[in-house]
A and B are shown apart, each in its own frame.
Chain A
Amino acid sequence: MTVMLLIPLSLVLGVAQPPSFVPEWLLFWRPQWILLALVFWVLHIGYFRGALFRMFFTLGRSDEGTIFRRAMAIVWLSGFVVDGLMLEPLGLNGAIFAAVTFYLLRYQDRLALQTPVQRMILIFFMVFFAEVFRALVLNLLLGQPWVLQPLTVAVTSMLVWPIYERFSSRPLSSIRTP
């Protein structure tokens, strides 16, 4: 249920416009809400056991490899929806989401031992490299100029992560496995 709310909320936060009195430069500091939702979802994938999750990820086979592969396919396809939302070249967000998901699932045991500060540093680099890749593609294909946006977005995403995780984890605490 958390994810059912978290994903639409992140999409809305990702495109919402601030009120007119907010200076325009502040838009460059908007956190990468959609990527944060993806990271949160992948990091907590072991806790989801709802009907929807079973239908997509554990139907037929429920081993970790199957969940891994199905998660990769679903986040890649979800990237197209975000491409449509953000009006970006098709496949761009799919590539970013698939790369992030692969890393998080491949090293999930190691990442589970991270302290909150280490997790924030991870978020910083993950968002930074994702945004640099996005800026590179948009620069090569659409001539979008290079600005400091990858850095600013990574900084704000890193700073909001603890609050975001705390807020999003609350409904999960009741269903956590021991």
Chain B
Amino acid sequence: MLTASFALVTIDGSIPRVDKVPASWVPNTLQSALTSIRSGLLNLTSPVYVVAQAPYQMSEALADITDDRQSLLRQRGDLQAQLLLLQQQQQRFNYLQQENMRLRQLLGSKAQLPSQVTIAEIVGVSPNPLRAELLVDKGHENGISQGQAVVDAQGVFGQVVHVAAARSWVLLITDRDHALPVRNSRTGVRMILGGTGGPEALVLEDLPASTDILAGDLIETSGLGGRFPVGYPVGVVDALGDAQDTPYLSATVKPSAALSKVGHVLIIADGGVKPMPTQDAPGLGAQINSRPEGH
């Protein structure tokens, strides 16, 4: 029994969580079998997370019920003002996107379209404080697959690592195992942004000491690697490391996404990068696949 456990642990632990490249020494059939078992177990155990989150859901529902009319009217006014602002930005966005497409056609470069997104609700958090992972209420049934990028209203959130029929685990960008190809929006310099395990800190490591980077610079996705769509904000440079004793520079980055506060996230299909027909591009703007129940 123990021998079987050790063999299973070694094989299952060797299957990479983030990278889609399978472990070389484990047969593919065994890897897919273990992935199927894990999906089944995720389906079986996800109600436990739903029950564990129930007190918070109930308190939110209670707060919604007990909200007085004045506060609801105030919220409505704020949302209307926000909507007006976003509509104005959307007009500008449409114009810029069309201009961008025309310029890409002139340059002969491959154009890209924002992909389909799925709204998912966070229903659980990993109990291990050393891992930054969240359980969301969308899975295979909703078109979610491993490796899809996850964002929130402010920026990049993480990526999907395990998928079951109706649930998925999302690895946050702050997890120690996570690395993300990014660029500095001010200078265009490409870098790799890693997680630190801390809730509000990312790190840019091993930058050449001559790199032009300043505190306050916006870091965005570079689109390299084909998993995260290009141009999404990831964070803002918070502080630069001391480079006196080393030829390399490091910097800490504060994530843009509200990693510990948000209740809903957007899962982007196919890494957000899709070849686009050169003429009559249909459907500018992200197409929303589904809405969370009750919202």
Contact = CB atoms under 8 A, between A and B. Distances in A.
A17 B52 contact: yes
B8 A90 contact: yes
B9 interface: yes
A11 B9 contact: no
A112 interface: no
Nearest to B13: A141
Interface string A112-142: 0000000000000000000000000100111
Contacts of A164: none
B53 A92 contact: no
B42 interface: yes
Interface in A78-95: 79-81, 83-87, 89-92, 94-95
Interface string A24-40: 10011010000000000
Given A90-B8, A95-B5, A98-B2, A145 B45 contact: no
- Does more than half of chain B's interface fall in helix, strand or loop, or is it mixed? helix
A12 B53 CA distance: 9
Interface residues of A, number: 41
Nearest to A93: B5
B36 to A, nearest CB: 11
B73 interface: no
Contacts of B12: 89-91
B166 to A, nearest CB: 14
A90 B177 CA distance: 19
Given A84-B41, A90-B34, A141 B9 contact: yes
Given A24-B129, A76-B5, A92-B9, A87 B169 contact: yes
A89 B13 contact: yes
A66 interface: no
22 contacts: A11-B48, A17-B127, A28-B129, A72-B1, A73-B1, A84-B42, A84-B45, A86-B127, A86-B128, A87-B126, A87-B162, A89-B12, A90-B12, A90-B38, A91-B6, A91-B12, A95-B1, A141-B9, A141-B10, A141-B14, A145-B197, A147-B130
Interface of A: 8, 11-12, 14-17, 19-20, 24, 27-28, 30, 72-73, 76, 79-81, 83-87, 89-92, 94-95, 98-99, 137, 140-145, 147, 149
Given A90-B12, A91-B5, A144-B176, 14 more contacts: A12-B51, A15-B127, A17-B52, A19-B56, A24-B129, A28-B129, A76-B1, A86-B128, A91-B8, A92-B5, A92-B9, A94-B5, A137-B9, A142-B13
Interface of B: 1-2, 4-10, 12-14, 17, 34, 37-38, 40-42, 44-45, 48-49, 51-53, 56, 124-131, 133, 162, 169, 176-177, 197, 199, 260
